[in-house]
Structure 1
Amino acid sequence: MSIARLLLLLLLPAPGSGEEDVEVMCAGTACYTLHRAELGWNAAQERCRINGGSLAPVRSPAEARRLQELMAAAGRPGPAWIGLWLSRGRCVQPQEPLRGFSWAGGGEAGNYTAWLSEPAVTCLSSRCVGLQPDGPSGLGVWADRPCRGPLPAFLCKFIFRGMCGPLPLPGPGRVSYTTPFGVRSPRLAAAPFGTLAEADCQENSASSFFAVCKGPLEDGSFAWDPPGPFCPATCSHRNGGCQHRCLQEPGEPRRCDCHPGYTLAADMASCLPRDACHPNPCPGTCRTLPDGFQCGCPDGYTLAGDGRTCVDVDECLSGPCQHECQNTPGSFVCLCRPGYRPAGPGSHQCRDEDECARPDACPQLCLNVPGSFRCACRHGYHRSGDSCLDVDECLRDPCPGPCRNFPGGFECLCPAGLLPEEDGRGCRAAPTAGEEPAGHPSGTPGVPRATGILQTAGAPRTTGVLPRTTGIPQTLGIPFGVTPPAPTAGGSASGPEHSADGPRLLLYYILGSLVAILLLLAFALALLACKRRAAKREKRPAKNAADSYCWVPEQPESRGVGGERR
C-alpha cells in the first residue's frame, strides 16, 4: 500500500451499525468499504445504496487489486458480495465474458473476468457473485451462488468529484473525519469531497476546529475550508508544522514560508513548485518547467525567436487552395475565380458554376463553359445585343412566287391549282383527277388539301395530304406537249406524310412523255417506210419491141415461138 495511491485502511465501527466493522480505502475519486455483516445479496446492495453507493464492481485488474488489499487489511474475512448478478428470467450466456451477468451500478460490462468455475446454467433463478480473497493469480476470484444465501461481508463503492489531503495540524492534536457515506475515522490519507474534519488540540482540550472539503478551486483541485492551520504551535515544535521554513516574530503567530521556486499551498503549511505560468506570461499557452516556463502558440501562429511572441503563419505559401488564397490572422481563406463556387473539404477546391441553370441567363439558348457561359439564338433568329431578333428570310427571295415571313421561319405561297415542292422553294402541278399518287394502296382515297401554301421548318404545316397509288401513273394517253389538268378545289394534295410523292410523280410524267414521243417517232418512221414501198410497186418498167404485140389464146395444135409467157 502506497501513499501515492491515497489509500486508507481503517477498521472502526460505523454509526448505528452496532457490531458491524468497516474497512475503508480511498483512491482517486472513489472510496471502497468492506462491511462485516452477514447479509444476503439484496440486503447488502440496499445498505450500499442508502449511503449513496452500490455493491463494488470489479472491472479491471487494478480495481481487483484494490479490493484484494482491502480484504487483506481486514484479515480476510471470507467471501464478500460484489455487484455482479444475474436477474431471474435472464439466461446464462457461456460465450460472454460476464456469462450474461451485469453490474448492479450499471455501466459497461467490460472484458475483465475472474471466474473460479463456470456459473451454473439457469434461466429460472437469480444468481449473485461473491469475491473469494485468494486466487491463483494473487487476486480475488468469483463464484456464483444463490442471492438469498448470506455471506459474512460485502464490498461497497462510492464515487466523488474529488479528494482533499489530510488536514495538517502544526501543533499537537488529533483530527476526526466524518465521510459523506457515514463512516467516521480518526485518520484518512484522502478525504472525499464533502467530508467534515474536526480538529482537537491537545494543548487546549477546550479548543476544537472544523473544516469541510470543498472545491473545485480555480485549478480544479479540492481543499479544506477554512484552510487552517489549526492547533498552532511554535516553530520549535516540529518546525511549526511547516514543510520548508517556519517564521515567527515576537508577539506574532508563527507562519510558514517556502524555498525559492516554490509557493505556499492552500493549507498554508505545505509547499508546491512555483507556477511560473500563473499569471500567464505568454500570448498563447504556457507550460511550467522546473527552471521556468515554455510558451506555446495557438493554431495558425508560430513562436518567435524571443520565445514569448507569437507571429502569424502565412498558410498560403503551401498552396492549400485550388484557385486563390488569402491569408488571415491565424488562418486563411480560399477564393474561387468568377464562374466557380467553393467545393470539397474546407472549401479548398472550386467547382464550375452552371450559369445556364438560372432562368434569366439567356433569351433563348444557353451554353455553359468552364468559368462562364454563352448565349445563342435558335434557327431563324440572330443576336442583337442581349436579345434575339427574327431573321426576315423573304429578303433573300427564296421563293419563285410570293413569300411570307413569320417568327423563326418563312413560307412560300403557291397559286391555286399548284402544289408546293418538298424543298419549299417552288411549286409543281397537281396530278389529274383520275390518277392515284404513289404510296397509297389502290383504291385508298387521299386526304383533301386544306391550302396551297408550303410552310418551312420552324412553323406548323397546315397543308393536306396528296393521294398516292402503288403503280406508275398512266401517261401514254396524254397528248405530247399537253400539261395535265390541275386538281380542283376538292382534289387532293401532298401532306407531310407524303412529302416524297412530288418528285416521283414528276419523274413518272417525264418518262410517260418520253415513251409517247418515242412511240410517235416509231409510228412516223413506219408510215414513211410503207409509203416508199408502195411507191416502188406503182412504178412501171420501160417499153420494148414486145410491147407492140398482143397475146392471143393458146391453140392446142400448135404454139407460137412467142407464145410462152415468161
Structure 2
Amino acid sequence: MATLRPLLLLLLLLAWRCGGEDAEVLCADSACYTLHRDESNWKSAQERCEDNGGNLAPVGSAGEAERLRELLASAGWAGPAWLGLALPRGHCVRPQEPLRGFSWVAGGEPGNFSQWASEPAVTCVSARCVALRPPGPHGPGGWADRACRSTLPAFLCKFSFQGMCGLLPLAGRGEVTYATPFGVRSARLAAAPFGTLAEVQCDSGRASAFAVCKGPLAGGGFAWHPPGPLCPVDCGHHNGGCQQRCLDAPGEPPRCACHPGFVLAADMASCLAEDSCHPNPCQGSCRPLPGGFECGCEPGYALAADGRGCSDVDECESGPCQHQCHNIPGGFQCLCPPGYRPAGPAGHHCHDVDECAQPHACPQLCINIPGSFRCACRPGFQRQPGGESCLDVDECLRDPCPGACRNFPGGYECLCPPGSLRDADGHGCSPGEAIPNSIPQSSSIPHSSSSIPESSTVIPRSSGSITQSSGSIPQSSGIPQSSSIPRSTRIPWTTSIPRSLGMPTAGLGAGSDEHSADGPRLLLYYIVGSLVAILLLLAFALALVACRKRAAKREKPPAKNAADNYCWVPEQPESRGERSLMGFTGSTQGCERTKQTPRV
C-alpha cells in the first residue's frame, strides 16, 4: 500500500501539469463555482461544464445567489454570464410561476427562489436561456433571458463534491497552487474539494512538495495527505507552523499539539475545541470545521451578517403566488380570493370554483363566472325584485294573440277562433281551409231576411240538411238540419241567432278581449240551442203522426143494410182502358155468384 502512494501522487502530478485552466473559483460547503471567460453560446457552455463533471450553475437559494455575486466581485467581472436556467423549444413561458416556466439544467425541484431583473419574453415556440447580470449602474442585477444561440463572453459552472479540505498548513513560507478535479488551477482557495492536488514551493529552496485532499477519514471529514505542515523548519521558526504547540523531538520532524480542552484538527496544525458546537454558538445549525465552526440556517432563513444568527427570508418578494402571497416565518403562504381554490404544485395557483356544481345554487339557471356565479331565469320567467326566485311572466297582458290567450308557467298559447288554425309554436293563428257551401240557398227564403252574413260561416261540415220542401237554410245560420222533419214542417228564417248574442264574426275577431274570449262559448250556446229546437220540432211532428194513426184505428166500420146484397159498380171513365173493363167484368161475375146464393 505504501508503494502505491508515490505512484498516485505521480499520476495526479502528471494530470495537473498536462491540463487545467486559470479561472476564478469559489468553494464553500460541498460545491465549487467557477467563472470562465470564454465567448460561447448556452449549449457550448453547458458542454464545457459537463466535460469537467458539472453543469451550468443553478441558483436555488439566496445563499447560492450571494456566492455567485462574491465570485463575480472577486473576479472583477461586470458583464453577463450564462446560468443553467433554460426554456426548451415547445414549452410556454408561464408568468405566474417563480421560474416563469424555465427549468434548471441540473434537474431537481424548481424551488420558489427567483431573481428576475426583467420579465422574460412570452413565447411557446423558441428556446430561451438565462444569463446572470451583475449589479451595476444599469440596475441591481439579476436574471435576464435571451436567445440560446446568442453568445456571451462568460459562463458560470457548478461542481458538487462529498466534502472539502481546509487550507494546506505550511510550517514555513511557501506558495501553494491547487489543481482541482474539474480542471481549474488556482492559488486562492479557502477550501479545496475532495481529490484536489496541492503543489507547494517552499521559500527554503527545497524541492516541491505535494499533498492530496483525501477522505472520508475514519472519524469523518476530509484531510490532506501528507497532513503537513509542509516546508518544515524547527519549532523555533514560526512555531513550526503549529497553531498552539510545536513538539520537536530528537531524530523526529517537528509535530503540532494542542492545549488541554482542544484537539488537533484534520490538518494536523490547527486546534479545535473538543466540541466547538457545544454549546451551540449558532442560532441555527452548527458544523465543526478545522479552526472553528460554521453556522447554518433552516430553509426559509438566511445567515445573518454576524455569521451566527438567522433572519427570515421574505419569499413573497419573488412573486411565487398567482394571486396573493403572505409571508410567514420560514416560508410563505399563497392565498386565493373568494371564488377560487388553491391548485397546482404546493398550492401556488388558484382555480375558479364552479359554484353551479353545488346543488340548489339557483332556483332555475346558474351561470358560472370567474370568482363567482350568477342566477338566471328560464324564458317565460323573470327575477323577483330583491330576490333570487323566478316569477312567471303573463305574456297575455301584452295581447300577443289575434283572439283569446291562455297563459301557463313559462309561456302562453293562443286560442284561435273557429275557422282558423293555431301556428306550430302556439303563438299565433292563421286562416284555416274554407268550408264548401254544399246546401244551395232556396229561393223561398230571401237573402234580405238573413240575420247572419255569409262571411261568418262557423258551422262544421257535420251539420245535417233540411228536406228540400222545407226550404234551405244558409250555412251561416248555424242550425243543424235533419231529414226526419215532415214535408209540412218549414223552419222560418227567423230561427237564426241574431247578432246581439255576441257570435264572433270575421270583422269582430280582434275587436276586444271580451268578445274574443266569449265568441266560442256563444257559438256553443247557439249550436246547442238550435239542436234543442230541432229536436223539439221533430218530437212534436212524430207525436202528431202517432196520434193520427191511433185515431184512425179507433174508427168502427158502419152497419150492413139491404143494399149490401147488391153490387155497386162505380162509373169508370172511358179513358181507363181495357184494364178497367176487365175489372168491371170481374165484379159483375162476383155479384152474380152472390145472387145465386139461396137465402136462408
Q: For this structure pair, what is the TM-score category when the shorter chain's length is used for normalisation?
A: 0.3 to 0.5
> More helix per residue: 1 or 2?
2
TM norm structure 1: 0.44
TM norm structure 2: 0.41
